Structure 1
Amino acid sequence: MTLDLPRDLPAALTDRTAAWRLIADLAAFWNAPLQPGDGRTDAELDAAETRLGLRLPAALREAHLLIGNRPDLTSNHDTLLPPEELHVERDHLVYRVENQGCAYWGVPLAALDQDDPPTAVWPDAADPETTPWTARLSVELLAVVLTEPLLDQEAYTDAGEVDPADLTDWTALPQLYEPGVDTHLFARPDALLVVQGGSWTAMRAVSGEVLDELCEQLPVSWLNY
């Protein structure tokens, strides 16, 4: 399957139906198309609402109904929490946790009346300050599916340090995150790459041959997953 992220991503940043469609396209691009049973059930999500005593945003429900049982798309490094583990912390509905519990992503409780509310992130600290993460929850959930598969050590992936100036054969994708979040995505027809913190990168290719070629082209000390 071909994937044209420079063409399709802009619409997905403003229309969550387009975001879910792009998530399905990404799964197929990695040769792991969505199947019946890949999502959680309405009953599980209803039970979470009853337990929490609050309404889940429509975007969160829709994403869990679509990919709630697909950790290969959502939870290779950090974890998209299942409905039974959603919880409230610091006036936010926590939906995602860093792999060592060092950071949390959540939706402000004051924004739960919105179908597609903004998101925030904060560190595991005694008195953390929350940082705006994405303007829309659907954008964050799409960002999860864009980045987490790049960390699947069973796939054609690698990681290392890169100078973004060396990514001359890659197309910079529109920014998904709020200002101040130093995470950027780059695409090719046969691969996807994320750069965080100015240099750390994770990359996934469609085949071992493509991965080897890209690793040889880029001046990076690859970790060789």
Structure 2
Amino acid sequence: MAESVRSRAGAWALVRGFAAYWGEPLGPGDGFTDAELDAAERRLGLRLPVALREAYRLFGRRADLTSNQDVLLTPDELHVLDGALVFRAENQGCAHWGVPLDGLDREDPPTVFRLDLADKAQERWEPWDERFSATAAAMALMEKLLEDHELTDFLDWDEELPDGLGELPALGRHFRWYQGPEVLVGVAEEAWVVVRARTPQALDAFYGVVPGESPDE
């Protein structure tokens, strides 16, 4: 996956393939229009980066890829906060992702992250990814994995994952990816594990190799 997101085209190809394999193929109505993005530019008085526009046009309206856990802001919700264009928010407003304003002239600018703290004087934008397209691709994959679905389940973290899972290249901060027979597994900061299967049989087979887990739990 890491190789896939070395370019914008690679990132969007990864999102297209992932959406089709784990859900529904992307369609013409799954993104925002140029007119909506142009209106956001006029309202904000700035130009949106090429990569951001491409992501919003491609899958910005696909809730399963943008807002199962955290939320991709709509064009009319984009806003500026302390020197960054905010495009994504944690589901309770505890954190935000943005693009530094001094990077908006780059086609695929870096992204930053900011926690919402009780002491506002301590809040700072911190570096996140080197390219917006990598951030957007990781978001799409993670949000799909976190979808409320009968073939998705959350498990307690165990230091040893089941045999037969292959670790995939890194994509996204503080998150590791594994793949098994028709299952995709994500491990978040060694705190929790989420598994998504393509079929009930694949999920049952995964439960069968996880100590203490069963389809009925």
TM-score of the superposed pair, with normalisation by structure 2: 0.91
Whether 1:211 and 2:206 are equivalent positions in the alignment is no
Instruction: Note the C-alpha offset of 1:155.
Output: 4.4
Whichever of the two has the greater Rg, that structure is 2
Q: 1:159 aligns with which of 154, 161, 169?
A: 154
Deviations 1:73-107 (A, max 9, x none): 11101001111111111211111100111110111
Whether 1:88 and 2:88 are equivalent positions in the alignment is no
Whether 1:66 and 2:58 are equivalent positions in the alignment is yes
Segments of 4+ in structure 1 off by > 4 A?
220-225
| One-letter identity of the residue aligned with 2:108 | D
* Matches of 2:33 and 2:86, distance apart in 1: 19
Task: Show the counterpart of 2:6.
Answer: 14
Instruction: Note the C-alpha offset of 1:21.
Output: 1.0
Q: 1:111 aligns with which of 97, 103, 114?
A: 103
- Note closer, same or farther for the CA distance 1:223–1:160 as it changes in structure 2 (3 Å cut): farther
* Matches of 2:72 and 2:216, distance apart in 1: 26
Secondary structure (helix, strand or coil) at the match of 1:166 reads coil
Instruction: Note the C-alpha offset of 1:215.
Output: 2.4
Contact 2:5 2:14 in 1 (8 A): no
Contact 2:31 2:60 in 1 (8 A): yes
Q: What do you get for the CA RMSD once the two structures are aligned?
A: 2.0
Secondary structure (helix, strand or coil) at the match of 2:201 reads helix
Alignment coverage as a number of residue pairs: 214
Gaps of 5+ in 2: none
Task: Show the counterpart of 1:5.
Answer: none
Whether 1:146 and 2:141 are equivalent positions in the alignment is yes
Whether 1:134 and 2:126 are equivalent positions in the alignment is no
Contact 2:162 2:209 in 1 (8 A): no
Gaps of 5+ in 1: 1-8
Whether 1:193 and 2:193 are equivalent positions in the alignment is no
Contact 1:63 1:141 in 2 (8 A): yes
- Note closer, same or farther for the CA distance 1:152–1:224 as it changes in structure 2 (3 Å cut): farther
